[in-house]
Amino acid sequence: MNLTRPWSLRELVRDLREGRTTPEDAHQRALARIAETDAELHAWVGQADFLPGAGVPLGVKDIIDLAGVPTRCGSALRAEAAPATSDAAIVTAWRAAGAMPIGKTVTTEFAFFAPGPTRNPAAPGHTPGGSSSGSAAAVASGQVPLALGSQTAGSVTRPASYCGVASLVMSHGRYPVTGVTGLSPSLDSHGVFAATVADLTIAWQALAGETGPAREPRILVWAADALDVVEAPMRNALAQAAKRLQEAGATVEPFRDEGLMAELTAAHPVVMAYEAARERAAELAVAERLSAPLAQLLRTGAATSAAEYETARATIDGGSVRLAEVFDAYDVVLGPAAPGAAPRGLEATGNPVLSRGWQALGLPVVALPGFTDAEGLPLGLQLVGRHRGETALLGHARWAERVLAGVSW
């Protein structure tokens, strides 16, 4: 069976508007595809009732409250959780935009590193990434055209890259996180997956009411050399993309402040651990019942001093000022979304290191699919925009998507 068959949001929205399909038809199509594929993919942990009147089937990561469905956070600690009594604020916003939540998608344990059962539609023997693994797989397989995730380190960008779909990480604070079981209040951000950047743009227009032109950007290319993790196929994909975008009219120059990104990348886990130990204090109290990675994170955070935390925060605050100056002269930063293709095996979720620095800054990020390695595994790139600049970022990403797909303007 071909597990990779993304569902075009653009085509679904057009068919709904023109009366060629109905919300119930879309709901039934989602359920049929889930029934066809989920015994192999394991992307879902619960379903919601169908509510007439809504439109686009939506998956909701299982750290986000969905009325009537338990929020179990991928944890045995929440195995007996009662159904949520109300929607998270972000679900309410998506319902108002015309989305129709159909159920909860798999997350890693409390959105950290312990994997869930989900497999990668593009390569079932390889990790789908984490922690929004279920949402990425649900979109890549065409179970739904839209699914919600969250990112504290690399939990949206990395699974999108591994599964070969597009994603948007919203600016930190763009929408409230009420009803979301988070890890780190200064880092947690909302995310969303769709088949393509063009689909993301339609979703963003419905959610935020904002549209922007698709035009050639001024690009800085971040090679991430200082982090020394990027594999040769990903380096080649980045170089090819930069070359083709420049040939199509974009201004392309190298991002030279590698030292800054290394500092931000180092500061991120300090902040994450410190805040997670306090945000998840109840779980820290029963750390022996958690996976080893999560228990270690919380214990590390509990042992981190306030001075260490403030030093890391100061690094991030200084970086924000320096990056704001960068975005005065350039529109986006283009870089690798992950070190390489999805690693083989399901025991780990891959390395989020290439997202840590950008996530520390709370900037919006689009994962751009389209490249593959020699084995045909997806390789995603990321485009980073200025704070609260999602609309412009999506316009630039849509232009890049069309150029890289060979579509002429």
Whether 409 has a pLDDT exceeding 50, the answer reads no
| Predicted local distance difference test score (pLDDT) of residue 211 | 86
Confidence band for 48, pLDDT divided at 50, 70 and 90:
confident
Give CA separation, 129 vs 140, 171, 271, in Å: 13, 21, 22
Average pLDDT on 388-401 reads 97
Phi first, then psi, for residue 40 (nearest 5°) are: -100, -35
Confidence band for 53, pLDDT divided at 50, 70 and 90:
low
| Predicted local distance difference test score (pLDDT) of residue 197 | 97
176-223 confidence digits (pLDDT tens):
999 999 999 999 999 999 999 999 999 999 999 998 888 889 999 999
Mean pLDDT computed over every residue of the chain = 96
pTM reported for the whole predicted model:
0.97
CB 76 within 8 A of CB 289: yes
| Predicted local distance difference test score (pLDDT) of residue 116 | 95
Confidence band for 15, pLDDT divided at 50, 70 and 90:
very high
Confidence band for 407, pLDDT divided at 50, 70 and 90:
low
d(CA 287, CA 139) in angstroms, rounded, equals 33
d(CA 64, CA 52) in angstroms, rounded, equals 22
215-266 confidence digits (pLDDT tens):
889 999 999 999 999 999 999 999 999 999 999 999 999 999 999 999 999 9
Active site residues: 61, 131, 155
Average pLDDT on 281-310 reads 98
Best CA proximity match to 369, nearest among 345, 333, 405, 394: 405
